[in-house]
Chains A and B, each alone.
Chain A
Amino acid sequence: MKENKYLLLFLLFSGILINNKVIAQDDSIVAEEIVKLKYYNSKNSMQFLILENYQRTRKKSEPLVNKKFQLYLDSIQPETLIAAITTNNTGKAKSFLPINLKNVWEASATHKFIAIAAGKEAEPAAAIEITKAKIHLDTTTSDGVRSITVTVSKYENGEWIPANEVEMKVGVLRLGGILPAGDEGTYTTDSSGTITVEVTKDSLPGDTNGNFLIAARVENNDQLGNLEVEQLVPWGVAVKTGKDFFSQRTLWSTRFKTPFWLLFMAYGIVLSVWGTLIYLIIQFFKIKKLGKIHTTR
């Protein structure tokens, strides 16, 4: 985990996040309000911003709910307003770029996103600067060796140039994370903006047809933001997900799947005992009937 901690330290001091820290000094509690703005580029097409707002004390971190912010592109003017957003119950808000900003967006390779908190217009709550970028993923198989090649390029001076020194995760898209396909946890692009990962993990389970998604993800890059690309490959082992788990008749199954032996035993006992009891009730009514016959006689 040390590695991880240093990474986080690095993130904190690097320019990815420009945090506005409002320090409310109490006698004992030091509460910090934190606003984070992040840029996402999904599959070189969809792009959006996520704002996170929370309050941190020494012990706890709590989301700030229903906080209003305004997002601006490049400059704080009514024309460059991206959106007015409100944080949800996890302290997050999301925004896309509206189409009326097309000209502003196309005018430059580098853009600044600015978040203004409602009621605190004097200075930005957070601001980030992003260079337009693209990420491409290719797969090759030669001599039975599978490789993934990822290329990152950025837009500078009117042309797409390779983006070097970009750190990313490359691997199989799994629940909650990317399972590294090669031996490394992360890879960094070379001067040609490329990384190549040799897939060393064999016979990973895929879906029922043996397919799985591979993905390359750049997280919190200080120049490019967050980028992701994915591709479906037939490299996995087909996993059979039979329904037999649910059709099992066991002691822990539902009442619709009671084991047969238990059904037979239980119904056998209950029916024989209650059968006899019903017989006895009939006998009782016989006694009653006999009594009545006796009286009428």
Chain B
Amino acid sequence: MIWTGILILFCLIGVYAYYRQLSKGLVVTNMRDYVSWGIYISNFVFFVAISLVGSLITAIFRLANIHWSTPLTRIAEIIAVSAITFASIIIIVDMGRPERLVNLVAHGRLQSPITWDVIVIGTYFFISLLLLYIPMLPDLKILNEQKNIKPGWIKRGYKFWGGFWKGTKEQSKISRRSIIILSIMIIPVAFCIHTVTSWLFATTYRPGWDSTNFGAYFVSGAFLVGAGAVIIAMYVFRKYYHLEKYITEKHFDRMGKALVLLAFLYLYFNINEYLVPAFKMKKPEEAHLTQLFAGEFAPLFWFAIIVGMVIPVIVLLFKKGRKPLPMFVIGIMVVVGAWFKRYLIVTPTLLHPFLPMQDVPQSYKHYFPSWEEWAIAIGTLAGALLIITIFVRLFPIIPIQETITEQNEKNEGK
């Protein structure tokens, strides 16, 4: 309850900050004409990245017939759904004229990558929702059959959403088929959502963004941060709901190994992304890269690389590193590193335009988010956590039916 209270408090502060922004304009942020995109956009990219985890755990593992991940699927899906919800919210927050959102439909232009992003995010949100809901039908039935535990309206909710599930053979068959189709479909859509988001940057000429590597770079980064988020969630739920029986040390061990692979993958794309332009040092790139490697942004840059990638890889290579607690710490490092990485992708580039930054007030030449920006960014993060928290209060975080079935199958197999 304290936890929920804190989250609600953060959300309310965020809402207040947004109220200020709405009444005064984006001037309450510290974004200006050069840094016209700030932490709202980096937060958006972060959310989109986190949301990719849904497809990773649910779909890829499911299709690869990897069964150990079954207890994690719902965690992954709810993270995806809440992250994508707040990705949409933060992008609306970033708009100068949020009330004109309808123009995207009324005057939508198919040539703009923003239109692509809106379509693909909407699609991904819908698929994620289905992928959360359909596998939950049997569990809703179980919940529905429980007596006198919840207030009436919640019970009615269970009945409305899952009352029709009887677990007949036909129903199971259709549902299983639907889940397989969704699992296949969500993979390209998930790749699209992150690739298209990367194109918001890569379709411009700016140094640091003008890269053909960007799609793959973003997708791999999303895989890493998503896996990190799942590890944190695994640890917390296991501890809080005493799910040691379902989320075992073996799960942590395997997620640890997966994380090493993903961190290596992301490191690979990072090296591509920075080393190749650094080898050439074209004039527009030079200022940007030197700022990252040794300048103003160097502490953040090396923090994101070392804490977000290198240390996790080293620690997780050891079996002892893949125990729950160290994994939890590593998960946090990965996620925090990833958040700052997104900041570094957005802001430094904007501070290195082609023409020099001149003839503007001094404040236009630097960027550090204002309290309103921090409050809104933190508010959205808290909001995402709040959705997850409320979800786990209402629904089982471990897919009951699926896990039972699988354990039965396993036992039979023995």
Min CB distance, B363 to chain A, in Å?
A: 25
With CB as the reference atom, state the residue of chain B lying closest to A258: B110
Q: A273-B185, A291-B164, A292-B164 are in contact. Are A284 and B111 (CB under 8 A)?
A: no
Bound-state CA distance A253–B116 (Å) is: 16
Kindly state whether residue B119 has any CB partner on chain A within 8 Å.
yes
| Pair A290/B170 contact, Cβ less than 8 Å | yes
Bound-state CA distance A266–B112 (Å) is: 12
| Pair A255/B110 contact, Cβ less than 8 Å | yes
Bound-state CA distance A292–B382 (Å) is: 40
A245-297 contacts to B, CB under 8 A, are: 251-255, 258-259, 262-263, 266, 270, 273-274, 276-277, 279-280, 283-284, 286-288, 290-292, 294-295
- Measured between beta carbons, the chain B residues less than 8 angstroms from A280 are 130, 178, 181-182
Number of interface residues of A (CB under 8 A): 27
Bound-state CA distance A258–B123 (Å) is: 22
- Measured between beta carbons, the chain B residues less than 8 angstroms from A270 are 119, 123
| Pair B134/A284 contact, Cβ less than 8 Å | yes
B138-185 contacts to A, CB under 8 A, are: 163-166, 168, 170-171, 174-175, 177-178, 181-182, 185
Bound-state CA distance A255–B105 (Å) is: 11
| Pair B110/A262 contact, Cβ less than 8 Å | yes
- Measured between beta carbons, the chain A residues less than 8 angstroms from B108 are 255
Given contact pairs A266-B119, A273-B185, a sample of 10 additional A-B residue pairs in the complex whose CB atoms are under 8 Å apart:
A255-B108, A266-B110, A277-B127, A277-B130, A280-B178, A283-B177, A284-B178, A286-B174, A290-B170, A291-B165
Which listed residue, A251, A276, A284, A288, touches B185 by the CB 8 Å rule? A276
Which listed residue, B111, B126, B181, B182, touches A262 by the CB 8 Å rule? B111
| Pair A287/B123 contact, Cβ less than 8 Å | no
With CB as the reference atom, state the residue of chain A lying closest to B108: A255
With CB as the reference atom, state the residue of chain A lying closest to B107: A255
Bound-state CA distance A75–B163 (Å) is: 101
Bound-state CA distance A179–B350 (Å) is: 43
What 5 A-B pairs are tightest by C-beta distance, nearest first? A291-B164, A255-B109, A294-B166, A288-B164, A258-B110
Min CB distance, B123 to chain A, in Å?
A: 6
Bound-state CA distance A254–B111 (Å) is: 9
Q: A291-B163, A291-B171 are in contact. Are A254 and B109 (CB under 8 A)?
A: yes
Kindly state whether residue B313 has any CB partner on chain A within 8 Å.
no
| Pair A290/B185 contact, Cβ less than 8 Å | no
Q: A287-B174, A291-B171 are in contact. Are A273 and B189 (CB under 8 A)?
A: yes
Bound-state CA distance A280–B127 (Å) is: 10
Which listed residue, B119, B137, B178, touches A283 by the CB 8 Å rule? B178
- Measured between beta carbons, the chain A residues less than 8 angstroms from B181 are 276, 279-280
Min CB distance, A272 to chain B, in Å?
A: 10
Bound-state CA distance A189–B178 (Å) is: 92
| Pair A290/B111 contact, Cβ less than 8 Å | no
Q: Which of B107, B164, B168 is the most central at the interface, judged by chain A CB atoms within 10 Å of its CB?
A: B164
Q: A273-B185, A276-B181, A277-B126 are in contact. Are A251 and B111 (CB under 8 A)?
A: yes
- Measured between beta carbons, the chain A residues less than 8 angstroms from B116 are 266
With CB as the reference atom, state the residue of chain A lying closest to B109: A255
Min CB distance, B402 to chain A, in Å?
A: 16
Bound-state CA distance A295–B164 (Å) is: 8
With CB as the reference atom, state the residue of chain B lying closest to A292: B164
- Measured between beta carbons, the chain A residues less than 8 angstroms from B182 are 280
| Pair A287/B109 contact, Cβ less than 8 Å | no
Which listed residue, A259, A287, A294, touches B137 by the CB 8 Å rule? A287
Min CB distance, B103 to chain A, in Å?
A: 11
With CB as the reference atom, state the residue of chain B lying closest to A262: B110
Min CB distance, A290 to chain B, in Å?
A: 5
- Measured between beta carbons, the chain B residues less than 8 angstroms from A254 are 109
B78-137 contacts to A, CB under 8 A, are: 107-111, 116, 119, 123, 126-127, 130, 134, 137
Bound-state CA distance A141–B151 (Å) is: 101
| Pair B166/A290 contact, Cβ less than 8 Å | yes
Bound-state CA distance A251–B178 (Å) is: 37
Bound-state CA distance A270–B175 (Å) is: 24
Flag B181-194 by CB within 8 Å of A: 1 or 0 each. Answer: 11001000100000
- Measured between beta carbons, the chain B residues less than 8 angstroms from A262 are 110-111
